[in-house]
Amino acid sequence: MPLKKAGREFKACCPFHDEKSPSFWVSPDKQFYHCFGCGAHGTALGFLMNYDRLAFPEAVEELASRAGVEVPREAGAPDRDRDSSDALYELNARVARHYAATLATDTRAREYVAKRGLDADSVERFQLGHATSSWNDVLRRFGGNDAKLAQLAAVGLVIEREGGQIRDGERHYDRFRDRLMFPIRDARGRVIAFGGRVIGEGEPKYLNSPETALFHKGRELYGMYEVRQSRAKLTRLLVVEGYIDVVRLHQAGVRHAVATLGTATTPEHLKRIFRMVSEVVFAFDGDRAGRAAAWRALQNALPEVREGREIRFLFLPEGHDPDTLVAEEGAAAFERRVEAALPLSEYLVRELAAQGDLAHADGRARFAELARPLIARVAPGVYRELLIGRIAEAINLPATRLAELWQAGSAAPARAGAHESGSTARRRAQPRARPRGAGRRGLVGQAVQLLLHHPAAAANVDGGLIEALLQVDEPGLPFLRELLDELRALPATSTAQILERWRERPEGPRLAELAAEEMLVTDTRAAEREIATALERLAAGARQRRIDELLARSSEGDLTAKEKLELQWLMSAKAPAAPARERGSEPR
């Protein structure tokens, strides 16, 4: 981004919304950005996650690679493993360039690309290529010795002949032959595998790389890297079945299309999708195979559906796939079909209704029994209740009654354990613990904000003041104590470090808001004094409230000998706080 110096900070036009005058500010001291126009804010990691749409681990890897540092691995993964992976990524990249160069010079392959309506920009953007009909083209170019041959086998580009037979002096042969090649890239744009579409006649029509150390087809989606690179506002993903469908849709302007890699949509796919967007639309052919694939997708999606997420199903006209349909009617008409796709609840009801006659009781009972195990896979919550309501509506039964009947059916075999439900009910009846906040904008909030903007100040906070906070009962104070303890045990050098440590915790969003606010205290020494003053006032306030409480009870003659001693101690001018009582021994 074209950042311009503005005092101690930098400014630019915000990349997250349209503006003509800059309201996007970057603070080198805080390692934090904030837009005063749209409210976007975060760290360098957050920027990559929002702008390049990377997941957190991928953003860490990207920044680490730019900075030239190693990312610590769990269980201390050996350096040689990382070096080996880097070599495999590089091999895939070189083979992809080779396939691209082959496509540029092969007349038959270029004619096929033109016939499918793919333009030069799409070919370059998706790095399309061509594998020749040779059985050993890649083998001979990239497998010059045993080590290189082992690498080709490790990424699935060559296959060992059955029984280790040798033919024409070689034990291996190329996996991909006479195919249009689609490099499959991860979130960082590295080639992790290939998909090949046969040119002309042949089976299988599509052939993918096998599972390797780099490639797990149940996690990856073709086109996800290109979706992330498109700067259009992303609100939904469209999941289709073919690689050419993805390329053709992107070419037409439908830049939110991805494809599964020769497998049904998995829960892992959905988890990745819902980290980026709140809505997914599955597009399937309207034939029997398409309907079967849609039903599998629905079953896999059920554990991931909940309020705030939307899953819908689009069935294409007979004889069409996304590639041919968008070419025939254009992107605008195709997008209207996407907008009108069936919600999961309606598709579920439609499919189950097709298996029985809802005009009579037998058919409705069968419908309810078919729906029951499916609904059981949905996480408890608002969405599940609404889904039960939709099922109940279809069979003309009150939703509460249907839920009761299902619950009774589930509980019937477990009558002997009924006492457990009572204990569960008692647990539910207990009041929930008050959630700790990241600090209200009183003394607690001021101290939190000072620590956030000046984390080095934590090192010089008096330990006695921190100990005194144990006697203070204020909203947000447990969080303040934990923040102080953490910064003293593990110092942070910037605001951004604190934000990343707390990213996934409930207080994270509030901390980010506090980080975006202007701070009048700009000096760490001044911040230390302000924090000490806030903690002293918190302790003094707690001490005075305890004194008032004990005095009120003393006037009624209700004090124990221990409480009289405590009151005497508290009223001593030297006492900074209440003497340490046994925690939990007396009600507060």
Give residue 577's pLDDT band: very low, low, confident or very high (50, 70, 90).
very low
Residues in Cβ contact with 571 at an 8 Å cutoff, skipping those fewer than 6 apart? 547
CA distance 141 to 155: 15
Burial zone of 46 (CB within 10 Å; 0-12 exposed, 13-18 middle, 19+ buried): buried
Neighbours of 106 (CB within 10 A): 19
Average pLDDT over residues 532-546: 79
Q: Which helix (H) or strand (E) holds 132?
A: none
Residues in Cβ contact with 89 at an 8 Å cutoff, skipping those fewer than 6 apart? 190, 191, 192, 214
Q: For residues 539 and 151, which has the higher predicted lDDT (pLDDT)?
A: 151
Whether the pLDDT of residue 446 is over 50: the answer is: yes
Q: For residues 337 and 17, which has the higher predicted lDDT (pLDDT)?
A: 337
Which segment of 94-98, 126-130, 163-167, 516-520 scores lowest on mean pLDDT?
Answer: 163-167
Whether the pLDDT of residue 279 is over 90: the answer is: yes
Burial 552-578 (b: 16+ CB within 10 A, else e): eeeeeeebeeebeebbeebeeeeeebb
Supply the pLDDT for residue 74.
66
Q: Where are the alpha helices (DSSP H) in 340-413?
A: 344-353, 361-375, 382-394, 399-411
Which segment of 135-144, 251-260, 530-539, 571-580 scores lowest on mean pLDDT?
Answer: 571-580
Q: Where are the alpha helices (DSSP H) in 206-343?
A: 224-229, 243-252, 267-276, 288-301, 322-339
> Facing residues of 26 across strands?
10, 33
Whether the pLDDT of residue 440 is over 50: the answer is: no
For residue 36 the two structure tokens come to 């005063």
Distance (Å) of CA 247 to CA 125, 340, 414, 567: 9, 22, 54, 77
Whether the pLDDT of residue 414 is over 70: the answer is: no
Whether the pLDDT of residue 417 is over 70: the answer is: no
Give residue 409's pLDDT band: very low, low, confident or very high (50, 70, 90).
low
CA distance 466 to 471: 10
Whether the pLDDT of residue 62 is over 90: the answer is: no
Q: For residues 201 and 181, which has the higher predicted lDDT (pLDDT)?
A: 181
Average pLDDT over residues 444-456: 86
CA distance 285 to 306: 26
CA distance 392 to 401: 9
Supply the pLDDT for residue 171.
82
Average pLDDT over residues 200-224: 88
**Highest mean pLDDT of the ranges 296-300, 304-308, 339-343, 544-548:** 339-343
Whether the pLDDT of residue 535 is over 60: the answer is: yes
Whether the pLDDT of residue 137 is over 80: the answer is: yes
Q: What is the mean pLDDT of the chain?
A: 82
Distance (Å) of CA 519 to CA 31, 48, 445, 498, 508: 15, 26, 13, 16, 19
Model-level pTM?
0.66
Average pLDDT over residues 133-138: 93
Burial zone of 100 (CB within 10 Å; 0-12 exposed, 13-18 middle, 19+ buried): middle
Among 317, 189, 297, residue whose Cα is nearest residue 237: 297
| Angle, CA of 423, 424 and 427, to the nearest 5° | 90
Which segment of 12-21, 75-84, 308-317 scores lowest on mean pLDDT?
Answer: 75-84
Burial 210-229 (b: 16+ CB within 10 A, else e): eebebbebeebbbbbbbbbe
CA distance 185 to 54: 13
Supply the pLDDT for residue 194.
96
Using CA of residue 238, residue 239, residue 240, residue 243, what is the dihedral sign?
Answer: positive
CA distance 145 to 60: 35
For residue 532 the two structure tokens come to 């000490």
Report the relative pairing of strands 257-259 and 236-240 from DSSP bridges. parallel
Residue 204: cis peptide before it, omega within 30 degrees of 0: yes
Whether the pLDDT of residue 584 is over 60: the answer is: no
Whether the pLDDT of residue 518 is over 80: the answer is: no
Whether the pLDDT of residue 168 is over 80: the answer is: no
Whether the pLDDT of residue 466 is over 90: the answer is: no
What are 335-365's pLDDT values in tens digits? Answer: 999 999 999 999 999 998 888 778 888 888 8
CA distance 367 to 361: 10
Whether the pLDDT of residue 542 is over 90: the answer is: no
Residue 392, helix vs strand vs coil: helix
181: DSSP letter? E
Whether the pLDDT of residue 581 is over 50: the answer is: no
Q: For residues 251 and 561, which has the higher predicted lDDT (pLDDT)?
A: 251
Percent of the chain with pLDDT over 70: 88
For residue 405 the two structure tokens come to 């009947």
Give one word for 178, left, alpha or beta, with left for phi > 0 and alpha for psi -120 to 50. left
CA distance 53 to 275: 9
Residues in Cβ contact with 271 at an 8 Å cutoff, skipping those fewer than 6 apart? 304
CA distance 200 to 179: 9
Residue corresponding to tokens 């969003």: 509
Among 454, 456, 507, residue whose Cα is nearest residue 477: 507
For residue 101 the two structure tokens come to 């160069």
Among 230, 234, 251, 297, residue whose Cα is nearest residue 116: 251
Query: Cβ distance 447 to 480 under 8 Å?
Result: yes
Neighbours of 299 (CB within 10 A): 15
Supply the pLDDT for residue 580.
43
